[in-house]
Amino acid sequence: MKHTLSIIAVLLLMLSSCAVKNADETAMFFYDMVKISDFDQAVTVIDPESLSHTPAQVWKDGLIQKQQRMGTLLSYQRTDYYTDTIDNITRVSITYDVKYSEGILKEKLQFILRKGKYFITFYEFKEADN
């Protein structure tokens, strides 16, 4: 019984790690597009269902306003993550420390797996604690 539980735990850890890696790739694309101010491309990784509630233009306007306040995106680093699968729907939440020319923000992206691809469903940011 202990052996079976150990195998299940290892498998869950591997699946979680794979989910984080794949969601992180979506985030890399998102941040790379923000870095070059290509907000049209950045919003292509927003979940279509999320866009039905908050239009792409609202997402773009928010990114532009953040850029005006924080300056150029310089770098980002994953600092924490969480995964959850309920009813065969996998969700991943990743927190990043994001350095801009005018300061550092703690940013959280939440992802959902749809048709084999991770999409951003939620995005929030706040000033990083020093």
* Residues 4, 39: Cα–Cα separation, whole Å: 47
* pTM of the entire predicted model: 0.84
The SS3 of residue 91 is strand
- Round the average pLDDT of the chain to a whole number and report it: 87
Q: Which of 103, 108, 105, 114 is nearest to 27 (CA)?
A: 108
Question: What pLDDT is stored for residue 1 in this prediction?
Answer: 56
| Token code pair at residue 25 | 């790739």
**CATH node for 2-127:** 3.10.450.100
Question: What pLDDT is stored for residue 17 in this prediction?
Answer: 59
Question: What pLDDT is stored for residue 4 in this prediction?
Answer: 56
Inter-residue contact 46 to 33 (CB < 8 Å): no
Listed by start position, the domains of the chain span 2-127
What are residue 13's phi and psi, to 5 degrees? -65, -40
pLDDT digits (tens, 9 = 90+) for 56-94: 999 999 999 999 999 999 999 999 999 888 888 889 999
Q: Report, as ranges of residue numbers, the positions in the chain whose pLDDT lies below 50.
A: 5-16
Question: What pLDDT is stored for residue 8 in this prediction?
Answer: 42
